Amino acid sequence: MKKLLLAATAALLPMAAAAQGLPPLNPDTDASRIDWFNLSKLGAMPDVHGQHYGVVLKTLTNPYWRQLAEGYRYGAKQDGSRVTVQAAQGESDQIGQLSIMENMIDGGYKGLLISPQTDANLQPSIDEAAKANLPVVDVDDAVVPSIAHFVGNVQRDNGVRAAKWFIAHFPQGGKVAVIEGQAGVFAAIQRTAGFVDTIKAAKGFTLVANVPGNWDRQQSYDAATTILQQHADLIGFYCNNDTMALGVVEAVKSANRLGKTDVIGTDGTSDAYTSIKAGELTGTVDSFPKLTGVIALEVIERIAAGQQVPRVVATPQALVTQENMSRYDGDLASQEAALKQDAAAAQ
């Protein structure tokens, strides 16, 4: 029954997008977009004191989503609004997450911030919210093609940044491998493609394995162990999230390859920063989840007040290693200032 429901929902996605007059969304390339640091150009922030917003997360077992929740709560405290955060039991609890969102539709919220398990599992509730004129914003990392508003970073660029690090640090090339996230999820597809396309275009590199870790630490440990047994001279792994990367780090340590096989993750979780400081994880492409939560809350507040907001709000990202960690490992204000400096330098 569960598989039938999800298959039926997926089949409805193109029709749902068409019904709203929207083309299927690709947030990496959509022309209707604005960078997070330009939101003030949309006008003054509305008065949201006392207003209530609902949050539906993938899970709270992953530190990335806990940090995103912290961002929502921090932003609400700053502007006097309220947020209620609920999450599925795990990153594959698609029906449980759908049930949570269903119950929020009539909860008196001014808007909902959702982080779907897949591009399909929350579609029935998104349709119900549209009927109720309840605004919904998709926030990292699965992308609902029919959604009217998305907040998140350029997922493909996560993989590109990791590949460029290997290219810069191994001019002679070498063997690399990828540990992917959940099959079919937009973020996993784009992160992997960004890394693979960039590394294949460089001279001297060989992609020896590209296997799923399904966002799971143990699965990623097992996969990396097998790869290292087959390719003892592997120079590095790129992992689609930090949970998997930390599992890969354990496999590298078990194979006595620490310092010889580099591991780069994605997300910028606190656990990843701790591992980088310890000299184990090489780096993470930080998506700054707490700041993303603050940004996403501002977006839903503007939309709920009737402001016109572009379909995509692009959030910050940076490859963080021991060399530059001090630049980003501060409080939210100093982190935001550093990222705005990065953006200005890139223009």
Task: Tell me the DSSP string of 57-109.
Answer: ES-SSSHHHHHHHHHHHHHHHHHT-EEEEEE-SSTT-HHHHHHHHHHHTTS--
Residue 164 reports pLDDT greater than 60: yes
Question: Do 300 and 240 share a structural domain?
Answer: no
Q: Binning pLDDT at 50, 70 and 90, where does residue 6 land?
A: very low
Residue 13 reports pLDDT greater than 70: no
Determine, yes or no, domain membership for 170: yes
Question: Do 277 and 168 share a structural domain?
Answer: yes
Q: Binning pLDDT at 50, 70 and 90, where does residue 7 land?
A: very low
Residue 98 reports pLDDT greater than 90: yes
Residue 19 reports pLDDT greater than 60: no
Determine, yes or no, domain membership for 45: yes
Mean pLDDT of 100-120: 96
Residue 194 reports pLDDT greater than 60: yes
Question: Do 43 and 123 share a structural domain?
Answer: yes
Determine, yes or no, domain membership for 174: yes
21-35: pLDDT as tens digits: 789 999 999 999 999
pLDDT of residue 4: 34
pLDDT of residue 20: 57
- Percent of the chain past pLDDT 90, that is, above it, reads 91
Question: Do 144 and 236 share a structural domain?
Answer: no
pLDDT of residue 347: 83
Mean pLDDT of 291-310: 98
Question: Do 300 and 267 share a structural domain?
Answer: no
The answer to whether 30 and 311 have CB atoms below 8 angstroms apart is yes
Any idea what the CATH number is for the domain that residue 228 is in? Answer: 3.40.50.2300
- Percent of the chain past pLDDT 70, that is, above it, reads 94
Question: Do 142 and 71 share a structural domain?
Answer: yes
Question: Do 163 and 134 share a structural domain?
Answer: no
Domain count, the chain: 2
122-146: pLDDT as tens digits: 999 999 999 999 999 999 988 999 9
**C-alpha span between 79 and 215 (Å, rounded):** 34
Question: Do 143 and 40 share a structural domain?
Answer: yes
222-273: pLDDT as tens digits: 999 999 999 999 999 999 999 999 999 999 999 999 999 999 999 999 999 9
Question: Do 42 and 79 share a structural domain?
Answer: yes
Question: Do 195 and 134 share a structural domain?
Answer: no
Residue 12 reports pLDDT greater than 50: no
Residue 276 reports pLDDT greater than 90: yes
Determine, yes or no, domain membership for 23: no
Determine, yes or no, domain membership for 133: yes
Mean per-residue pLDDT over the chain, rounded: 93
Determine, yes or no, domain membership for 176: yes
pLDDT of residue 18: 42
What is the amino acid identity at position 138? D
pLDDT of residue 10: 43
Question: Do 297 and 236 share a structural domain?
Answer: no
Question: Among 265, 259, 249, 255, which Cα is nearest to 321's?
Answer: 265
The answer to whether 256 and 285 have CB atoms below 8 angstroms apart is no
Q: In what order do the strands lie in the sheet with 205-212?
A: 205-212, 174-180, 236-239, 262-267, 283-286, 318-321
Question: Do 90 and 136 share a structural domain?
Answer: yes
Determine, yes or no, domain membership for 342: no
The answer to whether 188 and 221 have CB atoms below 8 angstroms apart is no
Find the domain containing 38 and state its range: 28-152+289-315
Determine, yes or no, domain membership for 330: no
